[in-house]
Amino acid sequence: MKKKLLSAAGTVFFTVLGLIYIAPILIVFMNSFKEKVYINKEPFALPTEKTWNGIENYLTAINKYDLLSSVGWTVFITVGSVVVILVCTSMCAWYITRVKSRFTKALYLLCVFSMVVPFQMVMFTLSLVADRTRLNTPWGIIIIYLGFGAGLAVFMFCGFVKSIPTEIEEAALIDGCNPVRTFFNVVLPIMKPTYISVGILETMWIWNDFLLPYLVLDLNKFKTISIAIQYMKGSYGRVDMGAIMAALILAVIPVIIFYLACQKHIIKGVAAGAVKG
Amino acid sequence: MEKAMRRYMPIFVLPTFFAFILGFIIPFVMGIGLSFCEFTTVTDARFVGLSNYVEAFKDTIFRHSFWYTALFAVASLIVINVLAFALALALTQKLRGTNIFRTIFFMPNLIGGIVLGYIWQLIFNGILSRYSTALGLNEWYGFWGLIILVSWQQIGYMMIIYIAGLQAIPGDVMEAAQIDGASRIQKLFRVTIPMMMPSITICMFLSITNGFKLFDQNLSLTAGEPAKMSEMMALNIFNTFYGRTGWEGVGQAKAVIFFVIVVAIGLIQLRATRSKEVQQ
């Protein structure tokens, strides 16, 4: 009886704590429907008839600040980079684990090394390289992300490839499969869990990344969501709090949908990445 | 097998290798080189020896940002890990709805730094305006604001790692302690925590490196206000590059110093995890 009571009290406690935990997002959500002048004054008050602004803030964010095209570019960059990173680095990791030479060993060590280098170390020179090579577009930035994100991905794929027995691949090769077909028909299906883990880690990183696209992209033409929000806040003149609230909500919604759709994989992937990284 | 594969090297390795050279090796090597030069664009770089480093160490705001960052990293490490560990312990008990609670506590971790900063700016300024003050008026408001922000963001993440660690403790060890008559507190300090040392080391180093590298949240929450006093190292480096012309070399030198600090922390971590592995 006492145990049951204690457990019920625990559930109540955590329900309250959970509500407090998501309160910041709910408060922003609530404010996104208020008129901009009332947001800074009374951020915790519920919208009243006087302060209610309907979806006007969302329309401003979309029309005046062109937020939908930012969302579009962010989706394009994230999906493109993650697909390219997954395909290229998994192939690379399989090769450098199976073929032992000085070159592959050096490449592996360099990849591990690149994981500890903070972005500030290369940010200035990287933006120069991107500018010179005309990679300052959403298409070009995919190559930059492949280069800068290769370290973690190669490292995680290598860790998994080492645990796969070579007999299956050898059998395929002896049966006359060339290495490329062997990779896609035999190795790739075995590595599926690692693809999911790496894919989720890279997705979360690239979707939320601010500084790399800020320095690399040609900002007159292309902005990601994070950059667009920073521009709304940092722009000269009056800051439109209403539009910012709407933009924050538009930035958070895709993340929450993505999270609820595949939370099991996300939590697993994050734990795997942390233990190895 | 190796022979058959070698012929296909270009298909497997070259795309990644090429991008890696472009996106990492060249910027890194150039970065080291330019830290010894004075330049505004690379073509006018002129070798000046160590003077950029001297300039960087002389910069009082940079030194301030180092201590501010170090203090922040340690404080956030303690707050995040204590709370995450407590949550992990509570949520591995027999409670109704633990899965939903885990889902909720983990969620903020997926939101980007810029968005997080503006969410919390609204809330902190809403509270502080009642006392007719604001976040940007005191460096310690910014400090504790950032601590709350990163705790909100990272507690769920660390909690997941701790839960995985707790679930990996074999049941018979706990049973043995139970039979020997250990109290709850004794079990926690004598069995659970020693068995959890690998997870604890990982989480501690994750939070300390995250603390040092913090940038987006710092930029969006306080942007260094008041007068660069809440500026952390990463933001200070950014502002040196892009805020003052002629200081690019000094910015690069600061970046190298920053890199050395982060690598040093990583090396300490490697030794700590290795020595733990030997013990077990």
* Mean pLDDT for all residues in chain A: 86
Same domain (yes/no): A84, A45: no
Q: Do A50 and A70 belong together in one domain? A: no
Say what percent of chain B tops pLDDT 90: 30
Mutation site for B-interface testing, chosen from A67, A87, A124 by largest number of B Cβ within 10 Å? A124
CATH architecture of the domain covering B59-279 = Orthogonal Bundle (1.10)
Mean pLDDT of B246-259: 88
Last residue of a domain, one of A59, A81, A107: A59
The whole domain housing A230 covers 65-235
- Chain centre to alpha carbon of residue A61: 22
Closest chain B residue to A205, measured at CA: B112
The residue with tokens 């690598």 is: B263
Q: Is residue A12 part of a domain?
A: yes
CATH number, position A224? 1.10.3720.10
B193-205 CB burial, b ≥16 within 10 A, e <16: eebbbbbbebbbb
Q: Give the position of tokens 């880690």.
A: A201
A204 at interface of B, judged by CB pairs closer than 8 A: yes
Tokens 């260094």 appear where? B224
Same domain flag for A11 and A112: no
Interchain proximity A180–B109, CB inside 8 Å: no
Chain A residues closer than 8 Å to B56 by CB: none
Does any domain span residue A18? yes
Instruction: Please give, rounded to a whole number of angstroms, the shortest distance from the CA of B33 to a CA of chain A.
Output: 10
Q: How many domains are contained in chain A? A: 2
At A212 the pLDDT is: 93
Domain endpoint, select from A17, A40, A59: A59
Q: What is the pLDDT of residues A150-208, one digit of tens each?
A: 888 999 899 888 888 888 888 888 888 888 888 898 889 989 888 988 998 899 889 99
In a domain, A109, yes or no: yes
Looking at the structure, tell me whether residues A85 and A211 fall in a common domain: yes
Does position B264 have pLDDT exceeding 60, yes or no? yes
For residues A9 and A81, state if they share a domain: no
Residue A270 lies in a domain: no
Whether residue A173 sits in one domain with residue A71: yes
Could you tell me if residue A245 is inside a domain? no
The residue ranges of every structural domain in chain B are 2-34, 59-279
ipTM surpassing 0.95, yes or no? no
Query: Residue A228 falls within a domain, yes or no?
Result: yes
B203 token code pair = 């989480």
- Across the strands, what pairs with B37? B47
Chain B residues in contact with A172 by the CB 8 A cut-off are none
Distance between B13 CA and the closest CA of chain A, angstroms: 5
CA distance A238 to chain B (A): 16
Which has the closest alpha carbon to A154: A194, A99, A205? A194
A127 and A203 share a domain?
Answer: yes
Whether residues B114 and A110 touch (CB distance < 8 A) is answered with no
**CB–CB contact A210 B114 (8 Å):** yes
With tokens 């190298």, the residue in question is B256
A57-111 pLDDT tens trace: 888 888 888 888 999 999 999 999 999 999 999 999 999 998 888 999 999 999 9
Q: Are residues A175 and A203 in the same domain?
A: yes
| Same-domain pairing of A44 and A166 | no
